[in-house]
Amino acid sequence: MPRFCANLSFLYTELPFLDRFAAAARDGFAGVEYFFPYGHAPQDIAQRLADNGLVQVLFNAPVAGPDSAANQAAWDAGARGLACVPGREAEFQTTVRLALEYAQALQCTQLHVLAGVVPSAHAADLAAVHATYRSNLRWACAQAAAHGVQLLIEPINTRDMPGYYLTRQDQAHAILAEVGAANLHVQMDLYHCQIMEGDVTTKLRSYVPTGRVGHVQIASVPMRQEPDQGELNYPFVLAELDRLAYRGWVGCEYRPRLGAHNGATQAGLAWMQAYRKPASTIS
């Protein structure tokens, strides 16, 4: 039976951020994830988690510096992380330190570290980009291990994030092997995987049994809406995750097709009932 968590950067966006926790709990989610908590004091978020009996499943390290407004402005301007960017290692380290402080306060054991877009100055020198990514991840994994946190890296499709460095599952698992840290795992977003590679079931069969898929996310393809339409057959895919004994969370990272008005997320959640049936009844 999949354990679904609500991505609060995509769901319930008609509500102020701190009110999305209660909405997710009301609709039956046991956990939440989102992009960035940094606009709020960690204790305010911890309170919402506690009030609603929710697990903080994961969030992202900032994509720029330690300042929340600057981070949001950088994200809005297209910044997608620093881990692979040569010359910005010190800034990368400040983002990881801040994220780990939040992880501790939120009792969150997983942190997604975005790879970043390959800077145009380094487009012809991917070896330097790769070496920076590897050494930044090694450093970050050591810091995270001291906090009992698992780091995640996520292959992302280049239609949504042009120039993003990490785009394929095999690339991500090769990085894991190179970095050699036990607390580095892959965030396998099936929406991105289908767009970049397809053959999703075979990829699940290859990688879930390795124990290195730390988190899965879902959305329909190509619309990135509820997982009950589009080219991926989620009843089959989610039953396959059960067959493979995947024990992590499944993040619902989609935009409700009814938009962002009051009730749109809840109205779109009928799909979740189907997955509460025993896997053997889904074909």
Ligand X SMILES: O=C(O)C(=O)[C@H](O)CO
Binding site for ligand X (CB under 6 A): 35, 60, 112, 114, 154, 156, 189, 192, 217, 253
- Which is the catalytic residue, given 33, 154, 226, 240? 154
- Binding residue for Mg ion, selected from 33, 189, 226, 240, defined by CB under 5 A: 189
For 192, phi and psi rounded to 5 degrees?
-65, -40
Contacted entry of Mg ion, ligand X, none for residue 60, CB cut-off 5 to 8 Å set by kind: ligand X
Residue 208 CB, nearest distance to Mg ion (Å)? 17
Q: Are 137 and 114 a contacting pair, CB within 8 Å?
A: no
Q: Are 275 and 235 a contacting pair, CB within 8 Å?
A: yes
Residue 217 CB, nearest distance to Mg ion (Å)? 4
Closest CA to 232 of 207, 195, 185, 271: 195
Contacts of 57 (CB under 8 A, 6+ apart): 5, 31, 32, 33, 108, 110, 215, 249, 251
Residue 157 CB, nearest distance to ligand X (Å)? 9
The yes or no reply on residue 60 touching Mg ion (CB under 5 A) is: no
Neighbours of 278 (CB within 10 A): 9
Residue 46 vs 234, nearer CB to Mg ion = 234
User: Shortest Cβ contact with ligand X: which residue?
Assistant: 189
What CA–CA distance (Å, rounded) separates 163 from 150?
A: 26
The yes or no reply on residue 217 touching Mg ion (CB under 5 A) is: yes
Residue 155 vs 268, nearer CB to ligand X = 155
Distance linking the first and last C-alpha atoms of the chain: 14
The yes or no reply on residue 33 touching Mg ion (CB under 5 A) is: no
- The answer to whether 253 is a known catalytic residue is yes
What CA–CA distance (Å, rounded) separates 145 from 178?
A: 17
Residue 114 vs 129, nearer CB to ligand X = 114
- The answer to whether 154 is a known catalytic residue is yes
Residue 176 CB, nearest distance to Mg ion (Å)? 17
**Catalytic residue positions?**
154, 253
